[in-house]
Amino acid sequence: MAIIIIDYGIGNLYSVANAIKKVTKEKVYITNDAKKIKLANRIILPGQGAIKDCIKELKKKELYWLLKEMIHTTNKPVLGICIGQHLLMESSEENKGVFGINYIKGIVKNYKNKNFKIPHTGWNIVYKHKEHQIWNGIKSGSRFYFVHSFYVKTRFKNNVLGVTEYGGKCANVITYYNSVITVQFHPEKSSSLGLKFLKNFINWLP
């Protein structure tokens, strides 16, 4: 039993692993080994890069359908970070349109406001939209670190745990459904509050 960080060939895998190791004594593995993934007690989908490449690598490593089945049929806690969040939505406008794992009902939209810098890079305020264990010890209005050019728009308000404003839009930066939490910002790059967020995920019992 361990915390598994899925390796699909891109992303900031080791910075996520190092952050997780600071907040837990559980074993942490970066892997694309299906047998180890099946034995995980928690799964993290990290992210930086293009969603099309992520899905291509997941399918190449024969992990796409495994993850889809596990996420839909088990109650293991899953955390999707940045691209990992986008993977779990219905679809994305990135790369001229890509279908996701389709667990959380929502789509990934392209920022179209030319008055704001894209990608959205740097610290921004995150407001609580709904109470949840993931917020333990974290105040609404706290700042987290972002690097992204697309944002999530969910179909149901009950799925939204946190929001932020950028480009005149209120983006759903934290979403939730059953045992899955997804987040647009990078907790592994968000200093002490990011570590608190990751610790809350490790301690979360869906």
- Of 86, 120, 129, 186, which residue is the catalytic one? 186
SS3 156: coil
Q: Which residue has the higher pLDDT, 11 or 62?
A: 62
Cβ contacts of residue 25 below 8 Å, gap of 6+? none
The pLDDT value given to residue 148: 83
- pLDDT-derived band at 48, boundaries 50, 70, 90: confident
pTM: 0.94
Report whether 194 contacts 187 (CB < 8 A): yes
Alpha helical stretches, state H, 140-205: 191-203
Residue 35 reports pLDDT greater than 80: yes
Q: What is the mean pLDDT of residues 71-99?
A: 92
Catalytic, 26? Answer: no
Residue 130 reports pLDDT greater than 90: yes
Catalytic, 188? Answer: yes
- pLDDT-derived band at 114, boundaries 50, 70, 90: low
What's the chain's average pLDDT? 91
- 4-17 confidence digits (pLDDT tens): 999 987 777 999 99
Angle formed at CA 162 by CA 23 and CA 92, multiple of 5 degrees: 100
Q: Taking the CA atoms of 146, 149, 166 and 98 in sequence, report the sign of the dihedral they define.
A: negative
Domains in the chain and their CATH numbers?
A: 3-203 (3.40.50.880)
- 16-25 confidence digits (pLDDT tens): 999 999 999 9
Q: Taking the CA atoms of 100, 201, 47 and 192 in sequence, report the sign of the dihedral they define.
A: positive
- Of 54, 82, 120, 148, which residue is the catalytic one? 82
The pLDDT value given to residue 165: 87
Q: Does the N-terminal peptide bond of residue 46 adopt cis geometry, omega within 30 degrees of 0?
A: no
Catalytic, 186? Answer: yes
